[in-house]
A and B are shown apart, each in its own frame.
Chain A
Amino acid sequence: MLLMTANRPLRFMASGFSSPAEDFAMPALDLNKFLLEHPASSFFWRNSVRAYEKYGIFQGDIVLVDRSLKPQKKLLNLVIYENEFKICDFVLMQKLLKKNDIDFEFWGVITVVIRKFLDASNSDIRL
Chain B
Amino acid sequence: MQAIAILDCNNFYASCERLFDASLRKKPVVVLSNNDGCVIARSNEAKAIGIKMGEPVFKCRDLLEAYQVKKLSANFPLYADLSDRVMSVLYDNVEQLEVYSIDEAFFSLGEHKSQEFLLLRAKQLQEKIERELGIAVSIGIARTKTLAKLANKIAKKNNLGIFSLCFDDEEYQKAFVDSVLSDYAIEDVWGLGFNYSKFLRAHAINTALDFAYANRRWVRQEMKVQGLRTCMELAGFSCLPLEQLEQEPLAKSIISSRSFGYAVKDLGLLQEAVANYIVTAAYKMRRYDKTTALLQVFLRGKNREGKKISLENTITLPRHTNASSCLISAAQKATKEIFDPNLEYKKAGVVLWALKDRKSLQLSLFASAENFAKENHLNKLIDNINANFGANTVFYGAMGKQKSSQKANWRAKQSYKSGAYTTSWFELPCIS
Contact = CB atoms under 8 A, between A and B. Distances in A.
Interface stretch (A14-22, A24-32, A45-53, A93-101): A45-53
A68 B133 CA distance: 9
Interface in A31-65: 38-41, 43-49, 52, 62-63
Given A67-B134, A80-B22, A83-B22, A41 B431 contact: no
Contact of A41 (B81, B133, B425): B133
Contact of B422 (A7, A43, A63): A43
A7 B89 CA distance: 27
B430 interface: yes
Q: Which of B22, B132, B428, B431 has the most CB of A within 10 A?
A: B431
Contacts of A86: 431-432
A29 to B, nearest CB: 19
Given A40-B88, A40-B89, A40-B132, A48 B22 contact: no
Contacts, number: 67
A40 B85 contact: yes
**How extensive is the interface on chain A, given as a class?**
20 to 34
B81 A1 contact: yes
Given A68-B131, A68-B132, A85 B431 contact: yes
Contacts of B81: 1
A67 B132 contact: yes
B428 A44 contact: yes
A118 interface: no
Nearest to A70: B131
Interface string B415-432: 000000110010011111
Nearest to B21: A83
Given A1-B88, A85-B22, A45 B428 contact: yes
Contact of A85 (B134, B422, B430): B430
A92 interface: no
A64 B212 CA distance: 52
A78 B23 contact: no
Q: Which of A1, A38, A43 has the most CB of B within 10 A?
A: A43
A43 B429 contact: yes
Contacts of B195: none
B378 interface: no
A45 B132 contact: no
Contacts of B133: 40-41, 67
A43 B432 CA distance: 16
Given A67-B134, A68-B131, A84-B22, A41 B428 contact: no
A13 interface: no
A41 B81 CA distance: 11
Nearest to B85: A40
A78 B85 contact: no
30 contacts: A1-B84, A3-B387, A7-B388, A38-B132, A39-B88, A40-B92, A40-B132, A41-B89, A41-B133, A44-B422, A45-B428, A46-B428, A48-B430, A48-B431, A48-B432, A62-B425, A62-B428, A67-B131, A67-B133, A78-B431, A80-B25, A83-B25, A84-B22, A84-B432, A85-B22, A85-B429, A85-B430, A86-B431, A86-B432, A105-B22
Given A7-B388, A40-B92, A67-B131, 6 more contacts: A1-B81, A3-B387, A38-B132, A41-B89, A86-B432, A87-B431
Interface of A: 1, 3, 7, 38-41, 43-49, 52, 62-63, 67-68, 78, 80, 83-87, 105
Query: Which 7 A-B pairs give the minimum distances between C-beta atoms?
Result: A41-B132, A46-B428, A83-B22, A83-B23, A40-B85, A80-B22, A47-B431
